[in-house]
Amino acid sequence: MPEFENGRTVETPTEARQAEPGPSALLLLGISTVLAMVTLGGVWMVFFKT
């Protein structure tokens, strides 16, 4: 239960850090990882494949 002091919520540092990355953060990580792999694969195909 949150504690209130002067009309404001007071949390301990541990309580304040308890955020969960939502699906949007997971989606962003996945898309950026796939995009990096495709980009590096394209660079490898153009410059290093003989």
Range of the domain at 29: 22-50
Contact 12, 18 (CB under 8 A): no
% of the chain surpassing 90 pLDDT: 42
Q: What is the total count of domains within the chain?
A: 1
16 occurs within a structural domain: no
When pLDDT is averaged across residues 1-18 and rounded to a whole number, the result is 83
Q: How far is CA 2 from CA 18, 21, 32, 46, in A?
A: 14, 22, 37, 58
Determine the average pLDDT of the residues in 24-50.
92
- For residue 1, pLDDT beyond 70: no
Per-residue pLDDT of 10-33, as tens digits, reads 988 888 888 776 678 889 999 999
pLDDT score recorded for residue 50 = 62
Q: In this predicted model, which residue has the larger pLDDT, 11 or 50?
A: 11
Residue 5: inside a domain:
no
Assigned domain for 6 exists:
no
